[in-house]
Structure 1
Amino acid sequence: MARILIIDDDETIRNVFKRFLDGKGHEVVVAADGRQGLRLVEEAPVDLVITDIMMPETDGLEVVMAIRGKEADIPVIAISGGMHAMPMDFLPMAKKFGACDVLYKPVELDDLLGAVEKALAGV
């Protein structure tokens, strides 16, 4: 199975996603912000990154751009909540910057699994 990095400043989301994906046979590592997440990518290879967009330190758009700049073969799924109702929705920007998929919070676990399987298959 895959080694997946989850980057989100919400501890509950990190824990729920980690337990769910661990239960599907994946090895999951977590980071509380983009800076820590990018450090983990440098320390050990990952097969997939799932990142929140709005975070302190380094945000998810910066994560997507940094990974695309260094490791173009690592797929990135961007997630965020509530922004689609705001004047500026950053998830479509994440897609333009290279995220392979985007999901709005709250994320249904079946939708997360579908996006993960699709990203890992390179679809």
Structure 2
Amino acid sequence: MPSVLVVDDEDQIRQLIRETLEQAGYDVQEASNGKQGLERYRTKPTDLVIMDILMPDQDGLESIMTLRREFPASRVIAITGGSDMIGILNFLDVAKMLGARRTLQKPFDMQTLLDAAQSELSH
């Protein structure tokens, strides 16, 4: 059974993603910020990480950078509802540059997320 770590500070979104993935047969762990997500991944690495970008304590961009440095083979899907820019790039572009393999702009439908997860885990 593939394992997924969902890192998002919004409880309702994290719960919806968890329920969707569990119904599809995934083993799901959760974290409410990047710092907690990294601690959980270090303790029990998963096959895939779904990482929100805008979070308190440690944002997703910093978390992706740390995760990919410590675990170069980790697979990350970055998600965000924020459309802010860093220079001329948006957060999702920066996430890809830091090592996220896929990005999704919130709101997205759960089938899109499932398709992205399945695609990442099959490669």
Cα distance in structure 1, aligned partners of 2:85 and 2:98: 19
What is the TM-score with the length of structure 2 in the denominator? 0.94
Aligned to 2:69: 69
Identity %: 40
What is the TM-score with the length of structure 1 in the denominator? 0.94
Unaligned runs of 5+ in 1: none
Task: Give the alignment's Cα RMSD to 1 decimal.
Answer: 1.0
Cα distance in structure 2, aligned partners of 1:9 and 1:68: 21
User: In the alignment, is residue 26 of structure 1 matched against residue 26 of structure 2?
Assistant: yes
Cα distance in structure 1, aligned partners of 2:40 and 2:2: 15
| Number of matched pairs | 120
Aligned to 2:102: 101
1:78 partner SS? strand
4+ residue segments displaced more than 3 Å = none
- Shift in Å, 1:74: 1.3
1:45 partner SS? coil
Per-residue CA deviations over 1:34-54 (Å, capped at 9, x if unaligned) read 000000001112110000000
- Shift in Å, 1:87: 4.2
Instruction: Determine if contact 2:54/2:82 at 8 Å carries over to the other structure.
Output: no
